[in-house]
Chain A
Amino acid sequence: MLNRVAIVGVGTTGFRATSADVSFRELTYEAAVKAYADARVEPKEIDGFVATSEDFLEGYSIADEYSNDQLGAVHKPVSTVAGDFMQALAQGCMMIQAGFSRIVAVQALSKASNMLTQSDLVHFALDPVYNRPLDVHADFIAGLEMNRYMYETGTTREACAQVVVKNRRNALTNPLAGHGAIVTVEDVLKAEVVSYPLTELDIAPTSDGAVVLVLASEDAAQALSDLPLWIRGIGWSSDTPTLESRDWGAAVYCQMAADMAYKQAGIRSPRSEIDFAEINDEYSYKELQHLEALRLFGPGEAGFLTESGATEITGEFPVNASGGSLGSGRLFEATGAQKILEVALQLRGEKGTNQIEDVHVGLAQTWRGVPTTTGAVAVLSNE
């Protein structure tokens, strides 16, 4: 049995298309100040900090240099995970379970609006010998996968489009989400094709924003918070990075991460033991594919269940009540931060109009986007 770790504080700037009035430092500072105030800690009491960034997203090298001032972490153990926030969160948990830290702050931010050449940026992640020379926008990878997923499961484009309809509508009543909109299935299907079968509306727009969470060991959590949110399980996994040797239909990285998280949480039948989920939907079909990989729905079921309303806020299993990535905006490394944040706020009963009734166990899932097959899953509970 691993020691229990809880989230005792959250802070965010919210997520919107631009953040022109503040620098990356100021954006993170805002989230950090809120998180520390929420956790009732001062940075000097925090003995571990994990930031997330990728050099080329920030636009400078060795981006971890610029991580710590705005977290109040000078002369502290600070490191950066070049990965998703949820991987950094896993590291934070391990630091506490290893007895190295008692309280850890985990941070992520997106300044997507500052990246002027986003297509070239994602392109630069492709294999330089085998894939880049094809000179196709990296969304083609998602198009290939969507095609295969639909073929293997019988999921329709309409079902995928319904994900967009639901999530962007949910975002309208989420003050943190910057891309709320009323769209119809027809709008999605008729929008400009980006990489068939994906249209522009199937793909999440990007957002800026920062998130900081404060984690604590069990005894520290009891002292700091009236409602600690326990991380019952956290898993992460990577499938192959190469396009040529991957499984295109199923999200194996998600299955493996889920298995790891469920095992730690002692969850045997996820659908009945988990109340809701916030998962990666940066391409519409991914919400469905991930739901099946998470074993929350059976293979091929997520599509028609979504169309029947099962995943609405008032449905039997609410998915992305926050609006997801489609409604909040794609956040690159901070994607997992938005998921964990929204699960945490639901479990604390702070979601207002979007509050799901009577929730105790929530699941957050993330994926690092094309061209990766890396993802993470976490199960949180408020008891």
Chain B
Amino acid sequence: MEITTDLLNKTVTRLSSKDLSKGQVFTVDWEPNLAYAWDDGVAIGRYLKELKRGLIMAKRCRQCNRIMLPPRMFCERCWRITDEWVPVEDTGTVNTFAISHVDWAAGRIPKGQRFFTPAVIEIDGASQGMGILHLIDEAKPEKIFIGMRVKAVWRPEAERVGAITDIKYFRPIG
């Protein structure tokens, strides 16, 4: 059976955004009240605690010899518990990045405001390719390149709470 235009035209009624905003169709609105308190657990609990102290903490699996970020209590490849905690540097190399003109809700960034430049940053001291997601700043977006060397810019100690945002962003070095 060929699926034809006639057949498909009967299946949906297209609406425009004006139909909604001008109340042309009946709608029901609902804002869910969903709040969660996720248990950090052992590995991430320590990770956050160390971030508060201004340190990035990784964990090693002696079998595959990876030094892993974010740290984890088990090695998903070797299927065994991981071994020692390994403090790593707060410098790294940009593995890839983007220059975003939109925010998380798909809103356009207002004129004059700096675009977001998220990046995957391979952290020095962790295994090769062990990256974390963070933001780059203090650099013109068009000057950022894959392979660029960066360093973390931390919040002042008193403002750190034990979160990934205790690092404000990474800035270029060297």
Contact = CB atoms under 8 A, between A and B. Distances in A.
A25 B42 CA distance: 10
Contact of A128 (B28, B34, B36, B79): B28
B35 interface: yes
A74 B76 contact: yes
Interface string A22-50: 11111101000100100000111000000
A120 B34 contact: yes
A14 interface: no
Given A21-B42, A22-B41, A116 B36 contact: yes
B37 interface: yes
Interface string B1-38: 00000000000000000000000000010101111111
Contacts of A121: 34
Contacts of A117: 33-35
Interface string A62-96: 00000011101010000000000000000000000
B138 interface: no
Contacts of B30: 124, 128, 132
A255 B133 CA distance: 50
A29 B75 CA distance: 10
A23 B42 contact: yes
A20 interface: yes
A25 B74 CA distance: 9
Indicate the member of B39, B40, B42, B43 with the most A CB atoms within 10 Å: B39
B73 interface: yes
A133 interface: yes
A129 B30 CA distance: 10
B38 A24 contact: yes
Contact of A116 (B35, B43, B76, B79): B35
B77 interface: yes
A72 B36 contact: no
A355 interface: no
A116 B37 contact: yes
B35 to A, nearest CB: 4
Given A21-B41, A115-B36, A116-B36, A70 B76 contact: yes
B64 to A, nearest CB: 12
Interface residues of A, number: 35
A36 B80 CA distance: 12
Given A72-B79, A74-B77, A111-B39, A23 B34 contact: no
Given A70-B74, A74-B76, A128-B28, A23 B37 contact: no
Contacts of A111: 38-39
B43 A26 contact: yes
B60 interface: no
A19 interface: yes
Contacts of B32: 56, 120, 124
B151 interface: no
Nearest to A44: B79
B163 to A, nearest CB: 15
Contacts of B79: 36, 42-44, 72
Interface in A147-190: none
Interface in A218-272: none
A25 B45 CA distance: 13
Nearest to A20: B39
A114 interface: yes
Contacts of A68: 76
Indicate the member of B32, B42, B72, B76 with the most A CB atoms within 10 Å: B76
Given A114-B39, A116-B36, A121-B34, A23 B76 contact: no
18 contacts: A19-B39, A22-B42, A23-B42, A24-B41, A25-B73, A26-B73, A26-B74, A27-B41, A44-B79, A56-B34, A59-B34, A68-B76, A113-B39, A114-B39, A116-B35, A116-B37, A120-B34, A128-B30
Interface of B: 28, 30, 32-45, 72-74, 76-77, 79
- Top 8 nearest A-B pairs by Cβ distance? A23-B41, A59-B36, A69-B76, A120-B33, A116-B35, A72-B79, A22-B41, A26-B41
